Structure 1
Amino acid sequence: MVFRIELRRTIAPWAGLALVVVALGFLFLLSGPWWKVPAPWTGNTTTTALWLRFLLVFLWPIAVGAGAIQGMRDSRSGMVELLSTTSRPGRHRALRLAGAVGALSALGVVVVFAVGLAEVLGHGGFVSASFLPVLFVGLLAVMAGSWIGLAIGRLLPHPLTAPALAVLTMAVSVLAWTSLEGSAAVSYSRFGLLTPVLGEPRGMLTTTATSVDLGQVMWFAGLAATGFLLLAANSARARVLGLLPAVAGAAIALPVFPASADGLLAADSIAEKLCDGPICVSRAHEDRLAALAGPGREALAMLARLPGAPTRIEERTSPTPLADPPPRDPGVVYLDFQLNDDLLTADASALRAAVLSGAGLPACVRPSYGDLSDLGGRMIAAAYFTGELKQLPEYDGGWFRQESGRLDQAWQKFRALPADVQFARIVALRHVLLTCQGDPLDTLVPGALR
């Protein structure tokens, strides 16, 4: 009964509703990266949870600010002195107040995830248990944020406290997000993980690393305990002691957090690979294994003529790097079904061309850059084995169609070369793409773009 009264008297329902409206407004009204490859939020429940954690850069300040508004209730109503004379311990009232605000704020996050789960099921996505720790940490963080807001609002009952606290939380969250995103402007810092914000997911086959989950659980549990103790404290000594859980949580969490941004993510359960001999794809794309088996073996047989030729074809399951070229291995041809969704519908001829492109090696630039030299060099390398210059199952932008004539001229010049010269230049191209040093197209046809 008392808890229901608190729900009616507090800002809790409005705080939860604000989280739902803001989150769903971002997800459905804005054409953000959450709808696009390589990590659509409808592709996997873990990816849905990761995008929700990303949105906490906006949602966490709302939870903290709403808590601060509610924390000033007693001061605004002039009841502080009256309540201090009652025999009931302050922790009893604090428990009901914190429970109402924290529960409704967390419920708002659960509602948003439930909508995401429906979207995943409606779009034929994957449901894996890996979303549980990602979502749990987010819920714990929202509850801890609302409790800290309650405590600060009670201790500093000024009209500017709530907006100032929300703005400060937003600024810290954005800075933490920039740090975890791998931005050149802000280097990675473990302190960024003291907020619940995560960088944008860069693939639908990844989840948070165990060290991240464990460290954040310890930190946000300590932060929540500090928020509750400060809310219930009636003396200066109690308030000082109330800071200890947050200090202990940070002391435990910081050494546990990964030392570099490369350790933030780990493979999701659907990234487990299924193989047909030397050809492997993730469980998420197992329907592509049968389609790839035949043309993949044909392509490997063609590439076998090269020194140090690749002997395997594997789907790339690691997150797509933000700035650096993707990792490469001379013995493995990597296909990225996440970044290049054209491969999901490619026929046998296109799949074979994808394996042969770059003589079995990937691009050294991100696809969005639209680099004609990189694309042209890899296309001609594939045509060297098939005898036909054709567009690869990627880069379907209009810019390529405008340059196809120049590539066709470069291909004709390459075909006119003696067979031994062609072979030597293909070998040289593999070295260029392995080291990402040099011009791919100029290696095959010097001066082709001049």
Structure 2
Amino acid sequence: MIFRIELRRSIAPWAGLALVVLALGFLFLLSGPWWKVPAPWTANTTTTALWVRFLLQFLWPVVVGAGAIQGMRDRRSGMTELLATTSRPAWQRALRLAGAVAALTGLGYLVVFGVGVAEVLAHDGFVSAGLVPVVGVGVLGVVAGSWLGLAVGRLLPHPLTAPGLAVLTLVATTLCWMSLEPDLETVLPRRVGPLAPALAEPRGSMVTTAVSLDAGQAVWFLGLAVTGFLLLSVQSVRARLLSLLPLVAGVAIALPLFPAEILTSDSFAARKVCDGPICVAELHRDRLAALAGPGREALAMLAKLPGAPTRVEEQVAPSPVERPPRDSGVVYLDFQRNDILLRADASDLRLAVLSGAGVPPCLPPSHADVSDVGARMIAAAYFTGELKTLPEFARNWFKTRSGPIEQAWQKFQALPADVRFARVVALRQALLTCQGDPLDTLVPGAAQ
């Protein structure tokens, strides 16, 4: 009965509603990175969970601030002394209020994630059990934040407490988030970043949180929640000081557990599915049938090279890489960052395997270079006899820069057969070691 009353008379319903409205506003009104490769939020439920955790950078301050508003209720309404005379223990009264706030803010978080799951299903995405720890720790973080706000509001019932606490939480959460992003200058040490529930961008549709991160954050948020609840329910100064012990213990246990890399491969989405020597990730199982035939044809063409590759596999790296992985025995294709391959026909898939004589570029995926692209195009054309644009993100960029590559191809064709073969072998070695200019290796002077 009392719990139902708290659900109606507290700020809990409005806090949960604000969380839902703000989160869905971000997700649907902004194009944001969550709609784009390599980690669209509709591709995998675990990726969806990671993006919702990312949004806690903005949502957690709202939750903490709302909790502070609610925490000031009794003191500002002049009911503190009256409630203190009742026979019911303070912790029981606090439990109803804290339970109501936690239930509806946690429910709001789950509603946002539920909308994301519906989007994944509507886009024929992948449903993975890897979402469970990501979502669970996120809910625990939301609950801990709401109880922290309740405690601060109870201790400091001033009109500026709630907005001030929300701003401080936003600043702290942003600094923690920045320490987790690989491309940003940071103020806080990277190991401190996971103390906030917001995570860095997933940057891949086959990643999830590391087990040690989940364990560390679970301990930390549990300690924070316990401290918040104790501060809400105890009265004496001594008891309040003792209430800080769970928070201190949570930090002491969590910090050593936090890993250097917070994201790792999702063992469900990244699991290999193979047809002989051709393998893709479980997330892209539907591409295996399309790749199997062209992949075998391309491997047969490459077989005449010394140390030729014998397998084609999908690259499932858990984070952005400065240099794509390379292996003399494996041709790696990146379906995550090169979404053109997800729609490519048999001809383009064969061309992708033959590109660079079976070796990926030495440049980061987002860096297109005439020498690199041109050399890999000519290497593929050596086997097919026709110079064609590669099926990758540089396709549109290449249209205005095709002249030098076509000239280099004509010079390459004019070379004797044994020289062309030796140049392709040399290019393959240059791409495997990432030493030298690729186009200059095939056609000396063409890169100038």
Does residue 331 in structure 1 map to residue 329 in structure 2? yes
SS at 1:433 equivalent = helix
Identity between Structure 1 and Structure 2 (%): 71
1:121 match: 121
CA distance, structure 2, for counterparts of residue 179 and residue 438 of structure 1: 35
Structure 1 contact 267–317 (Cα < 8 Å) conserved: no
Where does residue 190 of structure 1 map in the other structure? Answer: 191
1:203 aligns with 2:204: yes
The corresponding residue for 2:311 is 312
Name the counterpart of 2:253: 252
Quote the residue 1:231 is aligned against: 232
1:82 shift after superposition: 2.9
**Worse overlay, 392-401 or 371-380:** 392-401
Is 2:136 the partner of 1:136? yes
Whole-angstrom distance in 1 between the partners of 2:50 and 2:394? 29
Instruction: Specify the code of the residue in structure 2 equivalent to 1:249.
Output: G
Q: Which one is further off, 90-99 or 3-12?
A: 3-12
The answer (yes or no) to whether the contact 1:182–1:188 under 8 Å persists in 2 is: no
Cα distance, 1:130–1:368 mapped onto 2, change above 3 Å: same
Can you list the C-alpha shifts for 1:96-121, whole angstroms capped at 9, x where unaligned?
11111111111111111111111111
Deviation per residue, 1:360-397 (Å, 9 max, x gap): 11122234333222211111111112111101111355
Q: Distance in 2 between matches of 1:441 and 1:80?
A: 79
TM-score norm. by structure 1 comes to 0.95
Cα deviation digits, residues 285-332 of structure 1 (max 9, x gap): 22222221222122112222323322211111222415x122222221
CA distance in 2, matches of 1:421, 1:174: 57
Contact 2:35 2:42 in 1 (8 A): yes
Give the gaps of 5 or more residues in structure 1.
none
Q: CA deviation at 1:22?
A: 0.8
Shift of 1:79: 2.2
Amino acid across the alignment from 2:414:
A
Q: 2:358 aligns with which of 357, 360, 363?
A: 360
Using the TM superposition, give the Cα deviation of residue 274 of structure 1 relative to its aligned residue in structure 2, in angstroms: 1.2
Give the Å deviation of 1:3: 1.2
Deviates more, 1:180-189 or 1:193-202: 180-189
Q: Aligned partners of 1:427, 1:167: CA distance in 2, in Å?
A: 60
Q: Give the match for residue 342 of structure 1.
A: 340
Partners of 2:145 and 2:114 in 1: how far apart?
21
Q: Distance in 1 between matches of 2:319 and 2:337?
A: 8
Equivalenced residue count is 447
Q: Does the 8 A contact of 2:263 with 2:318 survive in 1?
A: no
Structure 1 contact 47–204 (Cα < 8 Å) conserved: yes
CA contact (8 A) 2:219 2:253 kept: yes
- Counterpart of 1:35? 35
Residues 212, 447 of structure 1: alpha-carbon distance in 2 compared, 3 angstrom cutoff: same
Gaps of 5+ in 2: none
- CA distance, structure 2, for counterparts of residue 320 and residue 98 of structure 1: 38
Q: Answer yes or no: is 1:49 the counterpart of 2:55.
A: no
C-alpha displacement of 1:407: 1.5
Q: How far apart in 1 are the matches of 2:325 and 2:257?
A: 26
- For 2:282, the equivalent position in structure 1 comes to 283
- 1:15 is aligned to 15
Partner SS state of residue 392, structure 1: coil
SS of the equivalent of 1:286 reads: helix
Of 19-28 and 84-93, the range deviating more from structure 2: 84-93
**How far 1:399 moved relative to its partner?**
2.7
For residues 236 and 188 of structure 1, do their structure 2 counterparts lie closer, same or farther at Cα, with a shift above 3 Å needed?
A: closer
Give the secondary structure class of the aligned counterpart of 1:265. Answer: strand
Deviates more, 1:303-312 or 1:64-73: 303-312
Change (3 A) 1:407 1:188: farther
- Aligned mates of 1:243, 1:405 — CA distance in 2: 69
Aligned partner letter, 1:50? L
Higher mean alpha-carbon deviation, 3-12 vs 423-432, is at 423-432
Give 2:388's aligned residue.
390
Mapped pair 1:321 → 2:320: yes
Kindly indicate whether the alpha-carbon contact (under 8 Å) linking 1:35 and 1:42 is maintained by their aligned counterparts in 2.
yes
RMSD, matched Cα = 1.7
How far apart, in 1, do the equivalents of 2:234 and 2:324 lie?
53
CA distance in structure 2 between the partners assigned to 1:371 and 1:66 by the alignment: 51
Question: 1:277 deviation in Å?
Answer: 1.5
Counterpart code for 1:317? V
Please report how far the alpha carbon of residue 184 of structure 1 lies from its aligned counterpart in structure 2 after TM superposition.
Answer: 4.9
Alpha-carbon distance in 2 for matches of 1:442, 1:78 = 82
Deviation at 1:13, TM superposition (A): 1.0
SS in 1 for 2:31: coil
Q: Which amino acid is 1:40 matched to? A: P
User: In structure 2, what is the Cα distance between the partners aligned to 1:24 and 1:184?
Assistant: 26
Q: What letter is aligned with 2:287?
A: R
Matched, 1:176 2:176: yes
CA drift at 1:267: 2.1
The alignment's TM-score, normalised by the length of structure 2, stands at 0.95
Q: Which amino acid aligns with 2:73?
A: R
